[in-house]
């Protein structure tokens, strides 16, 4: 079992008007106060250092663009810092948005350097990104998937083939590929891929045997997507297992249930991610510009986010805090209660990777530190026992690329 | 005034595409190149022009029900495709052309490369040139509905109400999205203009009329001035109280202006 820590790292301010919502492509960066930002960035880094100390296996970092709900515009900056200020934890990027890079050679070298400085602790996950990222960086949304696949193939070749070589594909051309830095890990750092509901991405991921991490999705839907992974793996001639399956969900732990509910609620307040339950999706034609996703995928997403007769949605887009707690979309309670709920998730989904999303929304630093402490003392050790009992190996126990046992992750 | 539309619609396997082609009228060929939002039907303007010409309205590759080959990646590719279509379909050249917005840009590109293909050229609210003042309105920061609202000055005009100012059926909404998917591939960056076209405009030898709606909310009228300065001998006609789609907003006034130029 691999247990990771994640915070979206939202902008936090007391007077964020409701109508600004997630702020994506809506709010001017005139609102960005560098002094406040300095405090927030350093706070989030302090929390990550502490998460390593209490026993998390990985620190997940992501990025979004023109997006106040995620202060990380450049995940590799934070990954670079973590490479130096942490010592044993994995640095999990979920991930670099490959299609928005016009120069993936630069990306290949950045990631190689982070892997080297961290002495082989980088997991350089990759994503396609939503429309907002394409708009901010003026990258053609209609070539998103082609660029994703080409940039992926280019990264792998650059990391595994001695240079110099020439690269000429539809979207990327280089006459001299020979970055001085190459990765620490061989044959190359492990690639993981996050997802929400794209069947095409799950299938692609399964064909590459990359661990697939579902992000804050509803349980039943998550299991359906895992099933697609298992089926695709079977078609590819290998057996997928827990080492290929990851799931991220909100967790907040306190000494009492009442306190947990009171403070946990702040996870659903403040500047929120547009991908989260309870948050109205921002401008649809920006999130999904023409050609970014297949019509089939757009129709599926529409179906999942459309409320049924009771006002509920499959993707949980209109769920309240109470709903999310009741349906285990958010795990909130005492350590014992949280472990019980997490056991249910582990039995239901059989993931080898679990990522706690914590300290998010409007939650303050003290509350995050308090919950991290309880997680480390009580929740993580209990989960590791359950994982043994249920036989849920993570990707550092069973290699997803080969299904062979690897040295257990020191924790 | 009422007219009984008389046109045919067929699907041709031509110029590397499966092509949706609407055609009506008789006489000399007149080629219509539609804009980036596609063309929803045989329009009143087409019908009026078809009284004088054999009017051809192909749905450009990716638009309407025409196929969308991967190799078409730019407006210059598209202008080459138009040249291929004209030859493959056996249209006699030189022929008259009217290009709307994206279609105007295509016609201008083609005219810079081939001075023998067009006899006269009408560019209507043409894209392709970065305006001197203002910016070309960004379709991709807005919804499809907003794009049509922005394209018309008069939201009570007949064809606006008929095609756009209403709730779309699922099929109509699907077609709008198909057209947006085509437009984004041709127009994404540099957004709706060419870096090199301004320098090539003096190569155009085709008599050219520029038609602009005074209230064009998509391509600012300062682009019209740049086209006029660039294309030798070009004339401009500005329609008052009119937006980006004069052919739909003021079909009679538009057609009259165009016919005077083509027939003169």
Cis peptide before B181 (omega within 30 of 0): no
Are A193 and A209 contacting, i.e. CB atoms less than 8 angstroms apart? no
DSSP state, residue A99: G
Structure token pair of residue A331: 């795990």
Residue B181 near chain A (CB below 8 Å):
yes
Please give the average pLDDT of every successive group of 10 residues along chain A, which has 411 residues.
97 88 86 97 98 98 94 96 98 97 98 98 96 94 96 98 98 98 98 90 96 92 96 98 97 98 95 79 82 79 64 60 90 98 98 97 97 98 98 98 79 43
Helix axes A34-54, A365-374, angle to 10 degrees: 10
From B189's Cα to the closest Cα of chain A, the distance in A is: 7
Place of tokens 């109509």: B172
Res. B1: pLDDT tops 50: no
Cβ neighbours for A56, distance < 8 A, ≥ 6 positions apart: A3, A4, A5, A89, A356, A375, A376, A380
Sort out which chain A residues have CB atoms less than 8 A from B180's CB and list them.
290
What is the Rg, in whole angstroms, of the alpha carbon atoms belonging to chain B? Answer: 17
Question: Among B73, B60, B28, which Cα is nearest to A170's?
Answer: B73
Residue of B nearest to A287 (CA): B141
Residue of B36, B61, B74, B140 to mutate, testing the A interface (most A Cβ within 10 Å of its Cβ) = B140
Place of tokens 């929120």: A272
- Report CA-CA distances (Å) from B263 to A168, B28, B30, B119: 51, 11, 12, 11
Are A104 and A172 contacting, i.e. CB atoms less than 8 angstroms apart? yes
Between strands A193-195 and A122-127, the pairing is unpaired
ipTM: 0.94
Sort out which chain A residues have CB atoms less than 8 A from B143's CB and list them.
284-285
Sheet holding B235-239, edge to edge: B8-14, B17-24, B54-58, B29-33, B95-100, B118-124, B208-213, B235-239
Between strands A245-253 and B17-24, the pairing is unpaired
Angle, alpha carbons B27-B32-B33 (nearest 5°): 160
**Which domains are seen in chain B, by residue range?**
8-263 (3.40.50.1820)
Residue A135 to residue B180, Cβ atoms within 8 A:
no
Residue of A102, A134, A285, A306 to mutate, testing the B interface (most B Cβ within 10 Å of its Cβ) = A285
Residue B184 to residue A295, Cβ atoms within 8 A:
no
Residue B142 near chain A (CB below 8 Å):
yes
Structure token pair of residue B249: 């907003």
Which residue among B143, B181, B189 places its CB closest to the CB of A291?
A: B181
Residue A138 to residue B180, Cβ atoms within 8 A:
no
Q: What is the C-alpha separation between A91 and A121, in angstroms, rounded?
A: 6
Residue B140 to residue A138, Cβ atoms within 8 A:
no
Interface of A to B at Cβ within 8 Å reads: 25, 135, 138, 140-142, 284-286, 289-291, 295
pLDDT digit string, tens, across residues B199-248: 999 999 999 999 999 999 999 999 999 999 999 999 999 999 999 999 99
From B199's Cα to the closest Cα of chain A, the distance in A is: 25
Cis peptide before A95 (omega within 30 of 0): yes
Q: What is the C-alpha separation between B1 and A92, in angstroms, rounded?
A: 68
Q: What is the C-alpha separation between B39 and B7, in angstroms, rounded?
A: 14
Structure token pair of residue A7: 């915070």
Residue B177 to residue A295, Cβ atoms within 8 A:
yes
Res. B150: pLDDT tops 50: yes
> What local confidence, expressed as pLDDT, does residue B4 receive?
63
> What local confidence, expressed as pLDDT, does residue A64 receive?
94
Residue B189 to residue A140, Cβ atoms within 8 A:
yes
> What local confidence, expressed as pLDDT, does residue A410 receive?
45
Which residue among B141, B144, B184 places its CB closest to the CB of A286?
A: B141
Segments of chain B assigned E as strands: 8-14, 17-24, 29-33, 54-58, 95-100, 118-124, 208-213, 235-239
Tally Cβ neighbours within 10 Å of residue B142.
Answer: 15
Residue A357, SS3 per DSSP: strand
Residue of B178, B179, B184, B185 to mutate, testing the A interface (most A Cβ within 10 Å of its Cβ) = B184
- Report CA-CA distances (Å) from A65 to A129, A143, A161, B9: 10, 18, 32, 45
Q: How many helices (H) and strands (E) does chain A have?
A: 14, 11
**Which domains are seen in chain A, by residue range?**
2-390 (3.20.20.30)
By the 10 Å C-beta count (0-12 exposed, 13-18 middle, 19+ buried), A166 is classed as exposed
Which residue among B141, B144, B185 places its CB closest to the CB of A142?
A: B185
- The mean predicted confidence, pLDDT, of chain B is 96
- Report CA-CA distances (Å) from B230 to B107, B135, B200, B211, B261: 14, 19, 8, 15, 19
> What local confidence, expressed as pLDDT, does residue A411 receive?
43
Beta-bridged to residue B209, according to DSSP, are B122, B235
Residue A140 to residue B185, Cβ atoms within 8 A:
yes
Query: What is the rounded average pLDDT of the residues B31-47?
Result: 98
Which residues 112-141 in chain B show a CB within 8 A of chain A?
A: 140-141
Cβ neighbours for A379, distance < 8 A, ≥ 6 positions apart: A251, A253, A335, A338, A339, A342
Sort out which chain B residues have CB atoms less than 8 A from A295's CB and list them.
174, 177
Between strands B95-100 and B118-124, the pairing is parallel
Which residue among B141, B142, B184 places its CB closest to the CB of A291?
A: B184
Residue B185 to residue A291, Cβ atoms within 8 A:
yes
Largest CA distance in chain B: 46
Question: Among B206, B256, B247, B257, which Cα is nearest to B57's?
Answer: B247
> What local confidence, expressed as pLDDT, does residue B49 receive?
98
Residue A140 to residue B188, Cβ atoms within 8 A:
yes
From B198's Cα to the closest Cα of chain A, the distance in A is: 23
Structure token pair of residue A409: 């992750």
From B73's Cα to the closest Cα of chain A, the distance in A is: 11
From A285's Cα to the closest Cα of chain B, the distance in A is: 6
Cβ neighbours for B10, distance < 8 A, ≥ 6 positions apart: B20, B21, B23
């Amino acid at each position: 079992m691999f247990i990771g820590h994640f915070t979206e790292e939202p902008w936090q301010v007391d007077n964020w008007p409701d109508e600004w919502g997630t702020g994506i492509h809506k709010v001017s960066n005139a609102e960005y106060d560098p002094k406040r930002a300095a405090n927030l960035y350093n706070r989030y880094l302090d929390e990550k250092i502490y998460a390593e100390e209490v026993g998390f296996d990985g620190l997940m970092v992501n990025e979004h663009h023109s997006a106040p709900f995620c202060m990380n515009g450049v995940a590799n900056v934070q990954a670079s810092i973590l490479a130096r200020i942490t010592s044993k934890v994995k640095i999990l990027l979920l991930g670099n948005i490959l299609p928005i890079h016009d120069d993936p050679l630069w990306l290949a070298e950045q990631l190689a350097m982070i892997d080297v400085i961290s002495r082989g602790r980088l997991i350089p996950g990759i994503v396609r990104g939503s429309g907002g990222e394409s708009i901010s960086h003026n990258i053609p949304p209609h070539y998103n998937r082609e660029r994703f696949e080409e940039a992926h193939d280019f990264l792998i070749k650059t990391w595994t083939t001695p240079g110099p070589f020439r690269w000429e594909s539809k979207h990327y051309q280089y006459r001299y590929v020979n970055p001085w830095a190459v990765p620490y890990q061989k044959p190359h750092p492990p690639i993981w891929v996050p997802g929400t509901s794209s069947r095409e991405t799950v299938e692609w991921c399964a064909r590459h045997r990359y661990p697939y991490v579902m992000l804050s999705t509803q349980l039943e839907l998550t299991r359906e997507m895992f099933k697609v992974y298992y089926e695709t793996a079977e078609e590819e001639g290998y057996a997928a297992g827990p080492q290929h399956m990851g799931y991220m969900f909100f967790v907040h732990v306190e000494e009492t249930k009442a306190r947990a509910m009171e403070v946990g609620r702040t996870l659903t307040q403040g500047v929120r991610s547009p991908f989260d339950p309870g948050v109205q999706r921002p401008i649809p034609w920006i999130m999904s510009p023409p050609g970014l996703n297949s019509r089939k995928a757009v129709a599926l997403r529409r179906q999942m986010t459309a409320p049924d007769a009771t006002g509920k949605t499959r993707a949980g887009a209109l769920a309240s805090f109470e709903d999310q707690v009741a349906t285990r979309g958010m795990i909130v309670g005492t350590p014992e209660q949280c472990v019980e709920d997490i056991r249910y998730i582990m039995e239901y989904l059989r993931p080898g990777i679990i990522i706690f999303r914590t300290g998010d929304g409007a939650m303050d630093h003290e509350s995050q530190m308090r919950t991290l402490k309880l997680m480390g003392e009580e929740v993580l050790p209990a989960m590791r026992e359950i994982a043994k009992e249920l036989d849920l190996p993570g990707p550092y126990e069973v290699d997803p690329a080969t299904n062979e046992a690897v040295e257990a992750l020191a924790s | 005034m009422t007219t009984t539309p008389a046109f045919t619609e067929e699907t041709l396997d031509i110029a590397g595409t499966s092509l949706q082609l609407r055609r009506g009228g008789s006489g000399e060929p007149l080629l219509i190149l539609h804009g980036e939002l596609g063309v929803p039907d045989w329009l009143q303007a087409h019908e009026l022009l078809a009284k004088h010409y054999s009017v051809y309205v192909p749905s450009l590759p990716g638009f309407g029900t025409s196929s969308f080959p991967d190799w078409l990646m730019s407006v210059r590719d598209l202008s080459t495709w138009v040249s291929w279509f004209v030859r493959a379909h056996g249209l006699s050249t030189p022929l008259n052309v009217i290009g709307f917005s994206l279609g105007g840009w295509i016609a201008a590109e083609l005219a810079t490369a081939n001075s023998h293909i067009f006899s006269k050229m009408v560019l209507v609210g043409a894209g392709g040139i970065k305006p001197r003042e203002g910016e070309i309105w960004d379709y991709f920061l807005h919804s499809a509905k907003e794009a049509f609202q922005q394209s018309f000055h008069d939201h009570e005009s007949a064809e606006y109400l008929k095609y756009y100012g209403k709730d779309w059926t699922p099929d109509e909404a699907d077609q709008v999205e198909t057209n947006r998917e085509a437009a984004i591939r041709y127009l994404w960056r540099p957004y709706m203009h060419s870096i090199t076209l301004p320098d090539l405009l003096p190569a155009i030898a085709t008599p050219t009329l520029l038609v602009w709606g005074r209230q064009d909310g998509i391509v600012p009228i300062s682009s019209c001035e740049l086209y006029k300065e660039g294309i030798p001998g070009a004339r401009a006609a500005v329609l008052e109280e009119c937006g980006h789609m004069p052919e739909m907003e003021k079909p009679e006034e538009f057609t009259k202006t165009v016919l005077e130029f083509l027939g003169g």
